[in-house]
Amino acid sequence: MPGASSLAANRLHVAMEKEPRLKTQGEQHSLVALILAAGRGTRMKSRKVKVLHELDGRPLIDHVCRTAQLLDPKRIYVVVGYQAPEVEATVRRLLPDKLASFVTQAQQRGTGDAIMAARDALNNSDSTLLVLSGDVPLIQAETLSSFVDHHRSSGAVCSILSVKLENPTGYGRIVRNELDRFAKIVEQKDASADEKQIREINSGFYCFDPAKLFSALERVQPVNEQGEYYLTDVPGILLSEGHTIELFLHNDARELSGINTRAELAEFENLIRRRTIRTLMLEGVTFIDPSHAYVSAKAQIGRDCVIYPDVLIEGGTVLGEGCLIRSGTRIANSRIGSNVVIKDHCVIVDSDILANCSVGPFAHLRMNARLEEDSAVGNFVEVKKSRLGRGSKAMHLTYLGDAMIGENTNIGAGTVTCNFDGKSKHETVIEDNVRIGSDTMLVAPVKVGSGSVTGAGSVVTKVVPPDSLVAGVPAVVKKRLK
């Protein structure tokens, strides 16, 4: 990433949801946000549009939309073009309908042309228009809010958020005049050797007076190296018409850096991960090797948890206190209680594990699997859409699908809930204090009453009454236990 400076660990925390909404000053003018997201992102060399590539487990456009939302704008317009339906669907999942609007840029002929697509919607607006780039994900709401305030109090018709980079290659450069005020923006590909030396760059965030913006846009011509309509020509045009243009120089290079390549995407990912893990360590979580753990910025991990190398904790996963998570485990969108031990190489997705449970090694929990307190699942056990009651155990080579299992029940090695008859899924109910013998097949729908026992190798096709011993193929009652 060009010229990224070092920054304090918590400078750019990304868990935006936890922040209060920021109101900008000058409430007499409302704010409208416009996010540019129509470009393909050629430099990603991908079939997928750039703004849908993921950072910290969420599409780039997600990061920018959530930040824009924190500014409490009247509306957020998103300019879509390349893979428009996919981008639109992603944004619709994030923003309420009354907030999000979409404008289509049919052909991607440059950032100026992209804005032009929103002319009908915005030309007559008396709001301040804040333009954001869909590919600059670390931008912070506080920065934008100060930027908007500055724009409003300066009386400028256009303000540009700029930053100085150690390596400005690839960006549009800010050319200043002898009074150190804005003169023009020149794109990398059009810059002279001298201009390429300029380290102050255009971050791609602007505030505009909409009417002035659209009248200047009409004068933009695609006379440049790329044959595109550049939004970056607009400030120069407005200046030549005698309007005031403001530069708002920010000091955090990383926050304003855009993602254009997969290498930059990986650098951002790494940065966010390091920051998240550092914060967690300061809050009392042990990482055996912080450089080999992957924790989403949205996840919460309680004190005295110990995370071994090569663990992935994704999405909004919550871990209680004192958990031990061994190597090679992936936990996504799940809730784990306190003092849970997850042994090596488990996959836990969309599930709940209550306090004092033990899982794995090599266990797979998914689709609302739920382990009640003090229960245990051992090696090569898959639990899908099932609940294992308090103190119950399934320790070896077992499939529990669509099963409701009571308390203090033991599921023997090799047990399978045969939940699928080729057409539909059926439920298995196993009540409290049951012992399911090794290699039992439970052909659902079926129920095993409390206190019952199944013999090894039973194929249970009928309801087992409470306190009975069943065995055989198909299993029949051999003995009443009470």
Contacting positions for ligand UD1 (CB under 6 A): 36-39, 79, 81, 105, 108-111, 113-114, 133-136, 171-172, 185, 187, 201-204, 230-232, 258, 260
- Tell me how many residues contact Ca ion (CB under 5 A): 3
Select the binding partner of residue 437 from Ca ion, ligand UD1, none (C-beta < 5 to 8 A, by kind).
none
As a whole number of Å, the CA-based R_g of the chain is 29
Site for Ca ion in 243-302 (CB under 5 A): 258, 260
Nearer to ligand UD1, 220 or 376 (CB): 220
Q: What is the DSSP letter of 425?
A: B
Select the binding partner of residue 363 from ligand UD1, Ca ion, none (C-beta < 5 to 8 A, by kind).
none
Select the binding partner of residue 230 from Ca ion, ligand UD1, none (C-beta < 5 to 8 A, by kind).
ligand UD1
Asked if 39 is part of the footprint of Ca ion (rule: CB under 5 A), the reply reads: no
Q: Which of 29, 243, 345, 396 is catalytic?
A: 396
CA distance 448 to 433: 10
Structural contact between residues 119 and 111, judged by C-beta atoms closer than 8 angstroms: no
Nearer to Ca ion, 172 or 406 (CB): 172
Nearer to Ca ion, 166 or 421 (CB): 166
Question: Shortest gap between Cβ of 75 and ligand UD1 (angstroms)?
Answer: 18
Q: Which stretch binds Ca ion (CB under 5 A): 12-20, 132-140, 266-274, 285-293?
A: 132-140
Question: Shortest gap between Cβ of 177 and ligand UD1 (angstroms)?
Answer: 18
CA distance 111 to 101: 18
Return phi, psi of residue 274, to 5°: -60, -40
Question: Shortest gap between Cβ of 179 and ligand UD1 (angstroms)?
Answer: 22
Asked if 372 is part of the footprint of Ca ion (rule: CB under 5 A), the reply reads: no
CA distance 443 to 475: 11
Nearer to Ca ion, 1 or 436 (CB): 1
Nearer to ligand UD1, 31 or 79 (CB): 79
Structural contact between residues 435 and 409, judged by C-beta atoms closer than 8 angstroms: yes
Question: Shortest gap between Cβ of 185 and ligand UD1 (angstroms)?
Answer: 6
Task: Pick one of 56, 62, 113, 135: the residue that binds Ca ion (CB under 5 A).
Answer: 135
Nearer to ligand UD1, 258 or 337 (CB): 258
Asked if 314 is part of the footprint of Ca ion (rule: CB under 5 A), the reply reads: no
| Angle, helix 141-154 to helix 60-70, in steps of 10 degrees | 50
Asked if 57 is part of the footprint of Ca ion (rule: CB under 5 A), the reply reads: no
3-class DSSP state of 119: helix
3-class DSSP state of 456: coil
Contacts 24+ apart (CB under 8 A), 175-182: 176/200, 176/247, 181/245, 181/247, 182/235, 182/239, 182/245, 182/246, 182/247
Question: Shortest gap between Cβ of 174 and ligand UD1 (angstroms)?
Answer: 9
In the chain, the amino acid numbered 189 is K
Q: Please enumerate in sequence order all residues whose Cβ is within 8 A of that of 333, keeping only pairs 6 or more positions apart, or say none.
A: 314, 315, 316, 317, 349, 350
3-class DSSP state of 42: helix
Select the binding partner of residue 402 from Ca ion, ligand UD1, none (C-beta < 5 to 8 A, by kind).
none
Question: Shortest gap between Cβ of 42 and ligand UD1 (angstroms)?
Answer: 8
Asked if 236 is part of the footprint of Ca ion (rule: CB under 5 A), the reply reads: no
Catalytic residue at 364?
no
CA distance 401 to 463: 18
Nearer to Ca ion, 135 or 233 (CB): 135
| Torsion sign (Cα): 96, 98, 99, 103 | positive
Peptide bond into 445 cis (omega under 30): yes
Q: Which residues bind Ca ion (CB under 5 A)?
A: 135, 258, 260
- Positions marked active-site: 396
